[in-house]
Structure 1
């Protein structure tokens, strides 16, 4: 990687940390945590996926513990939610939007770091997805929520898979740049938000089974 590309990757990573951190602080506010709990949850979701990624690729101490800049996004997120939460409506919608932003950026940076570490494209995709969903999984478990990753009435990992696969494809064909990275992030974000709004979901583990609370006739929510 060139120096300028490495810098751009760090900025993408920091942006992803911020988006995820805001989702953590919003969940903390919804669960009526105090400001310390908000900061800690923001840190868990913002930094968790990257820490898992750096450990897996054996990159030395995770970037979250070696670069002080990674501590700023969770702090900023906690402060912003603290002052703005009282005027924020539809918190769940905002949480999903910020979470989708983090998902879109982290599936790209996780995949690029895996490729930069010499990983084969297929494991690189898997690590990109792990980076993207890892923080959200830790956030939901910490806050005693049903993890979105395992919600049968939602799609969470598939957008990350799509983004990671597109990143690998663009990288191995030499087409990855700032513009295509933005396009991939936009696709992942739109996929995730549209799936949430339209209640898209993957088939259950057993064919013929139906989701609890859904009408088998129309596969939609009951009144």
Structure 2
């Protein structure tokens, strides 16, 4: 089974455990009114899409560094692959969270879903399904934010390595330029001194 699917499934189980724990201890405040729930979901979609955009940006920056000498040196290691996987995983979590929010906004409160839940059982299935999906959506969003934070932290390390190499080359060029400038300055001083001595000798 694909490792990414396993991660999503494990996260699903963890979030379901959180939902069960929430029923006993009230860890989360879940909106009960349909209008409030939909407002929350619109906000979650906004946050999910913004963070997904940030993740794509991180991935784009990573790809732009792929031709640098520093990145070329670590291509054969797991560093680059791990970083890409973390970014992709965060995007997937944000997308799942956004899809759950869309389901809660446009489908979950429809008469079709409500009638099915009412016919299947009498222990308020519809409300429980809504609450489970809410916890799942929030869970995948938080999981995505955690992955995004980890990817940014790792990206900073890679960028430091890339720029450290550039700074090193820049310092070498600066030192070379200073050396050339110093030689030119010495030559000019020497030329001026020779001219001065010639003028002094001529005047005598």
TM range (shorter): 0.3 to 0.5
Name whichever structure is richer in helix by fraction.
2
Larger radius of gyration: 2
Q: TM-score, normalised by structure 1?
A: 0.30
- Relative contact order (alpha carbons < 8 A, sep ≥ 6): 1 or 2 greater? 2
